[in-house]
A and B are shown apart, each in its own frame.
Chain A
Amino acid sequence: MPTRLTEFLESEPVAAYVLLLPTIVGLAFFTLGPVLAALAISFMRWDLTSPPEWVGLGNYHAMLSLDPLSRISFVNTLYYVVVTVPVGIVLSLLLAVAMNQKIRGIVLYRTAYFLPVISSTVAVSLLWEWLYHPEYGLLNYLLGLFTLPPSKWLSDPSTAMPAIMIVSIWRGLGFNMVILLAGLQGVPQELYDAASIDGAGVRSRFLHVTLPMLSPIIFFVTVLSVISSFQVFDQTYVMTKGGPLNATTTVVFYIFRQAFEWFHMGYASALSYVLFAIILAFTLLQFRIQRSWVYYE
């Protein structure tokens, strides 16, 4: 005979809450609670050892007018996002279109493009640090073969960030390509046939069939890429430690230093909230702009 307890546990809503218990705990203690706590901490001065001290908007004020490095880190991150996202998407679109032709060796190609995606950013960053080596690096050697002058890559403030961008774009191509390819495969062949009958060439079929049909996927990939690019950390941590002359200090790298090297928990939280607000604003902006270019059937 079932007891009262088992009968209770077996009712539908109770079973649901039991199964969702870990999720509810996770949301409360690792997401929603911390989001509110981070906001509160951002109004404090706190080094984790002495009691926190309320400073109101002091951290935000310091960020905007006293600390030049915070502005530098935001400018660097913006520069990184503005270059890596569009270049990455255009190149992966080109690859996806090529992959979508009915050719042999797709699996082999896909494996090649996936190698950087699955590799850890640490291993990939070390590899590129070696490729960028100013004296013994393979890249300067290759430049020499084309009689081009060698570059100092990561050790020159003007080329360090572009060098990091190259690594990120290189690593992300396969990822975006797979999503775009899935989208391309969903475009009905009839549309291409109809366009051909109407006399559309390769270019006009791409512009008037492929692009509109693919625009929701391109939009999705753009939103994802913008969000993850704003959070760039691993590459700068491994390759440059934010240098030279702070040229590659990104926001997340700066938050990491403030919080876990200098234990400025309040200031780091304020930085993270501003980053959060910027990411949110960019995402909402893209949803607003999409109405003018994304085509939904």
Chain B
Amino acid sequence: MGVLRMSSLPGTVTTTARRRTRHPARLPAVGKRLAAHLVLLTGSITMVLPFAWMVSTALKGDQALMTYPPQWIPNPIAWHTFIEVFQVQPFSRYLGNSFFYALLATLGQLATCSMAGYAFARLRFPGRGTLFIMLLASLMIPYQVTMIPVFVIMKYLGWVDTFKPLVVPNWVGGAFGTFLLRQFFLSIPSELMDAAKIDGSDYYMILARIYLPLAGPALATLGVFTFMWAWNDLLGPLIYLNSPWNYTVSIGLAFFQSRRYTIWGQMMAAALISLVPIIVLFLLAQKYFVQGIATTGLRR
């Protein structure tokens, strides 16, 4: 009996799997696909189930501990948990602060990395190679090494407990963004630049009018990553922000738990709210996330 016919029937996964081990070379395409689905499905369930439990817990509110053994569909559904999150602590303020930090960080990275990326890709100047290598070498230095002296600088400037120590470092370029945009600019034909020069454009205008408008995908990639890093950042806000009024979502969440006893329903609701902006961003710009990781291994 043909393996192909058997495995095309539902519920014969085990038969296919056994045949596969016996005749590895003649493994039919359908069996292979079925095995792939099996692996991916098991994995996806492991990925998604915890999040489903998060939603379920949030909707149980303060009844979360009372329902044991666990039940997936809460009864009654405690929608009010999502409102309580904003009442027990200034969570909307935290959300606003995170938006402020993430937005300014993103703008800074886009502006300064595109300037640097363009200079490295298209302009000739003494010290270009050295400077570029120094920038790439800075990738090797862990954040923890520079963290203490930078804190001393920020303290000396009187910037502690403001957003400046979080935002300003994003306005001075960065190795990942510069490298990403340099590579992209190199792929734009330099004839465009020569033509613009003949028409009387200077180097700044060429960046603004030719290179930037063409760099949409690369800018989007850098933009979504910077926004995500800033939104999810824990260590930076932990070091620099002291007054609760300045808390971002990440430290607001981390401290939520240390108060009194843990109300798991509220906590999961708060965590869920904190995830929404990033999930929306991801669904809108999934392509750029995937490209960014696949091409440069962006990680922070």
- A residues with a Cβ closer than 8 A to B are 10, 12-13, 15-20, 22-27, 29-35, 37-38, 41, 48, 94-95, 97-99, 101-103, 105, 107-116, 118-123, 126-131, 133, 136, 138, 141, 170, 173-175, 178-179, 181-182, 196, 199-203, 220-221, 224, 227-228, 230-231, 233-234, 237-238, 252, 255-256, 259-260, 265, 268-269, 272-273, 275-276, 279-280, 283
Q: Which chain B residues lie closer than 8 Å to A233 at the CB level? A: 234-235
B33 touches A259 (CB 8 A): no
Q: Which chain B residues lie closer than 8 Å to A22 at the CB level? A: 112, 115-116, 171-173
Q: Quick one: given A35-B141, A115-B48, A130-B268, are A201 and B150 in contact (CB under 8 Å)?
A: no
Nearest B-chain residue to A180, judged by Cβ: B294
Selecting from B2-10, B64-72, B78-86, the interface stretch reads B64-72
B88 at the interface (CB under 8 A from A): no
Distance A260 CA – B241 CA, assembled complex (angstroms) = 12
For residue B81, give the distance in angstroms from its CB to the closest CB of chain A: 14
Q: Which chain A residues lie closer than 8 Å to B207 at the CB level? A: 19
B202 touches which of A10, A118, A126, A129 (Cβ 8 Å): A10
Q: Provide the B33-57 mask, 1 if CB < 8 A to any CB of A, else 0.
A: 1011101100110111011011001
B92 at the interface (CB under 8 A from A): no
For residue B105, give the distance in angstroms from its CB to the closest CB of chain A: 13
Q: Which chain A residues lie closer than 8 Å to B134 at the CB level? A: 27, 32
Distance A99 CA – B171 CA, assembled complex (angstroms) = 38
Distance A138 CA – B250 CA, assembled complex (angstroms) = 24
Which 6 A-B pairs rank lowest in CB-CB distance, beginning with the nearest? A26-B172, A23-B173, A120-B232, A201-B24, A182-B294, A34-B149
A170 touches B290 (CB 8 A): no
B231 touches which of A33, A103, A107, A120 (Cβ 8 Å): A120
B39 touches A15 (CB 8 A): no
Nearest A-chain residue to B26, judged by Cβ: A201
For residue B150, give the distance in angstroms from its CB to the closest CB of chain A: 5
A118 touches B278 (CB 8 A): yes
B294 touches which of A24, A115, A181 (Cβ 8 Å): A181
B138 at the interface (CB under 8 A from A): yes
B286 at the interface (CB under 8 A from A): yes
B51 touches A35 (CB 8 A): no
Distance A276 CA – B141 CA, assembled complex (angstroms) = 7
- B residues with a Cβ closer than 8 A to A are 20, 24-25, 27, 32-33, 35-37, 39-40, 43-44, 46-48, 50-51, 53-54, 57, 64-65, 68-70, 112, 115-116, 118-119, 123-126, 128, 131, 134-135, 138, 140-153, 155, 169, 171-174, 178, 202-204, 207, 228, 231-232, 234-235, 238-239, 249-250, 253-254, 257, 264, 267-268, 271-272, 274-275, 278-279, 282-283, 286, 289-290, 293-295, 297, 299
For residue A39, give the distance in angstroms from its CB to the closest CB of chain B: 9
Q: Which chain B residues lie closer than 8 Å to A230 at the CB level? A: 142
Q: Which chain A residues lie closer than 8 Å to B57 at the CB level? A: 130
**A-B residue pairs in contact (CB < 8 Å), sample of 8:** A108-B44, A112-B48, A113-B47, A120-B278, A130-B54, A196-B25, A234-B235, A256-B235
A25 touches B294 (CB 8 A): no
A30 touches B140 (CB 8 A): no
A273 touches B145 (CB 8 A): yes
For residue A190, give the distance in angstroms from its CB to the closest CB of chain B: 18
B279 touches A118 (CB 8 A): yes
Distance A153 CA – B33 CA, assembled complex (angstroms) = 36
B125 touches A17 (CB 8 A): yes
A127 touches B115 (CB 8 A): no
A122 touches which of B20, B40, B250 (Cβ 8 Å): B250
A23 touches B279 (CB 8 A): no
Q: Which chain B residues lie closer than 8 Å to A114 at the CB level? A: 282, 286, 289
For residue B92, give the distance in angstroms from its CB to the closest CB of chain A: 17
Q: Which chain A residues lie closer than 8 Å to B278 at the CB level? A: 118-120
Q: Which chain B residues lie closer than 8 Å to A13 at the CB level? A: 123-126
A127 touches B268 (CB 8 A): yes
Q: Quick one: given A15-B204, A127-B50, A234-B235, are A175 and B299 in contact (CB under 8 Å)?
A: yes
A268 touches B148 (CB 8 A): yes
Distance A129 CA – B178 CA, assembled complex (angstroms) = 38
Q: Which chain B residues lie closer than 8 Å to A35 at the CB level? A: 141, 145-146
For residue A146, give the distance in angstroms from its CB to the closest CB of chain B: 14
Q: Which chain A residues lie closer than 8 Å to B40 at the CB level? A: 95, 98-99, 103, 105, 109
B145 touches A224 (CB 8 A): no
Q: Which chain A residues lie closer than 8 Å to B268 at the CB level? A: 126-127, 130
Q: Quick one: given A120-B231, A127-B51, A127-B271, are A23 and B172 in contact (CB under 8 Å)?
A: yes
10 A-B pairs besides A23-B178, A276-B142 with CB distance below 8 A are A19-B204, A30-B172, A99-B36, A119-B278, A120-B231, A120-B275, A130-B267, A136-B264, A182-B294, A228-B299
